Amino acid sequence: MPPMPSALATATDDDQAVDPSATATKDRPLNSNPLTVLITVPTLEIGAADEGVIGLARILGSAGHHPVIVSRGGRLEGELAKTGAAFVRLDTTSRNPLVIARNALALRRLVRERGCGVVHAHGRASAWSAWLAARSCGVPFLTTWYSGFRDQNLLKHWYNGVMARGDFIITASDQIAERLVERYRVPWRRISVISPAIDLSPFDPAGMTSERIAAIRNGWGGTAATRVILIPGRIIRREGLHVVVQAAALLKARGLRDFLFVFVGEDQGRSRYSGELWDLVLATDTADVIRIAGPSADRPASYAAAKMVVGAAIQLDGLPRGLIEAMAMARPVLASDLAAGPEVLPAPPVVAEARMTGLRYRSGDAAALAAAIVRMLSFPASQRQAMGRQARSYVLTEFDRAVVANQVLAVYARAAALRSAGPESPRPHHPRPADPGAELSGGTDHR
């Protein structure tokens, strides 16, 4: 990665908005040439793109830049306000071409009025408007891919392809980057694999109390003897929750006792999937061993109350924030091969058992998931605890926010250099998309 010019300062580790002048030290020089960055994201609710934008705003603000977030908004607006970023409310969730064109005009006005030097898109519908605005104003265009998108047909492949039009592209994992190169023939030189900035400070087992754990367990209807298997992630098909129900039925049929699967994701009501999931629970007679609890008010305690945490995604999931938080809480993790790549979850056969942080299994295979759960429960408590310690040490090293901040700012340095070179400078070549015959595995979370 190219060195970062002095105009782009290193981010601080603060979570709150700060006065840049107050943090100007010999170690963190005040940015002498700050960028104003227009960042689009469909919503500020729950999800990788929504939370990723909050982390990006912290990084840019702490480095002395001026992020302007354009979104329909949502529950994370309060968190965004803490970063000091400007917020402009605009509904960019629509796929209607007329609405996209109208939004592009609104974004073009914002770019010109605020002197934005970079446009950065998160999510496809907002990306089309952002791309049109960036091109009409002659400023660099960045995109971030948090997960794969399904290419059911040529039209969907073309629609998804806006995310591959970035002058520079950030992906959340190596798996997504490889799919992007394969499906859209994007040159590797335009891609940077960077983990989202995740604040893991609240997820520290040293600060946990037995009272918090007991309160969580009581809320789920469990006891101290109940072996809780926690499943974070939204109630959507791509998370593979139906596979978990099928695995629960297999375990129950084999006579396993004193176990409880707890789903702690949010149901946004966008599809019939939650109803189908309940129908499957009733059909498999697993209502006694499954709780669809919804989001927890105390996520660290939820992880601490679990014997293990499962990521069951059946489509490419990018960076599974819930699994990383669980690992920070020293919980062993089970993940499908699409929920977490080896760069997220070191597991056999990639690493020796002495270094593993959990187990991986074949995506969509309920029998394989059930077998992995039995194997995890068969380990001595000391071995599971050792796995948890390895997991915590690994994520604190691999997902260090200062490292992530430097990587992000290096991409912005390249974008700033492209802009500084002027309109005569050649832009990265955007090749025609590849044949979409095989789909880009992934969901439709981000419009």
Token code pair at residue 154: 């040529």
Does position 4 have pLDDT exceeding 60, yes or no?
Answer: no
Does position 131 have pLDDT exceeding 80, yes or no?
Answer: yes
DSSP SS3 for 347 = coil
CB-count exposure of residue 74 (10 Å: 0-12, 13-18, 19+): middle
CA distances from 175 to 278, 359, 386, 446 (A): 32, 18, 28, 18
List pLDDT tens digits, range 360-385: 999 999 999 999 999 999 999 999 99
Does position 104 have pLDDT exceeding 50, yes or no?
Answer: yes
CATH class of 205-398: alpha beta
Does position 447 have pLDDT exceeding 60, yes or no?
Answer: no
Instruction: Read off the pLDDT of each residue in 91-119 and give the average, rounded to a whole number.
Output: 94
What percentage of the chain reaches a pLDDT higher than 90?
Answer: 60
Instruction: Read off the pLDDT of each residue in 48-75 and give the average, rounded to a whole number.
Output: 93
DSSP character string of 367-425: HHHHHHHHHHHHS-HHHHHHHHHHHHHHHHHHT-HHHHHHHHHHHHHHHHHHHHT-TTS
Q: What is the 8-class DSSP label of residue 310?
A: E
Rounded Cα–Cα distance for residues 198 and 58 (Å): 11
Does position 123 have pLDDT exceeding 50, yes or no?
Answer: yes
CA distances from 46 to 43, 80, 108, 443, 444 (A): 8, 13, 27, 15, 14
Confidence of residue 15 (pLDDT cuts 50, 70, 90): very low
Residue with tokens 């806006």: 162
Q: What is the 8-class DSSP label of residue 88?
A: E
Rounded Cα–Cα distance for residues 31 and 412 (Å): 13
Q: Most distant CA pair in the chain: distance in Å?
A: 71
Residue of 402 and 25 predicted with greater confidence: 402
Confidence of residue 270 (pLDDT cuts 50, 70, 90): low
Contact (CB, 8 A) for 121 and 413: no
CA angle (345, 347, 349) in 5-degree steps: 140
Instruction: Read off the pLDDT of each residue in 164-190 and give the average, rounded to a whole number.
Output: 91
CB-count exposure of residue 443 (10 Å: 0-12, 13-18, 19+): buried
Instruction: Read off the pLDDT of each residue in 17-29 and give the average, rounded to a whole number.
Output: 35
Does position 207 have pLDDT exceeding 70, yes or no?
Answer: yes
Cβ neighbours around 293 below 10 Å, total: 17
Instruction: Read off the pLDDT of each residue in 335-355 and give the average, rounded to a whole number.
Output: 84
CA distances from 203 to 118, 195, 321, 336, 394 (A): 33, 18, 12, 23, 14
> What pLDDT, on the 0 to 100 scale, is given for residue 129?
96
> What pLDDT, on the 0 to 100 scale, is given for residue 249?
97
Instruction: Read off the pLDDT of each residue in 263-277 and give the average, rounded to a whole number.
Output: 85
pTM: 0.75
User: How many residues does this entry show for the chain?
Assistant: 447
At the topology level of CATH, where does 20-198+400-420 sit?
Answer: Rossmann fold (3.40.50)
Does position 434 have pLDDT exceeding 60, yes or no?
Answer: no
Residues of the chain with CATH 3.40.50.2000: 20-198+400-420, 205-398
Rounded Cα–Cα distance for residues 141 and 115 (Å): 14
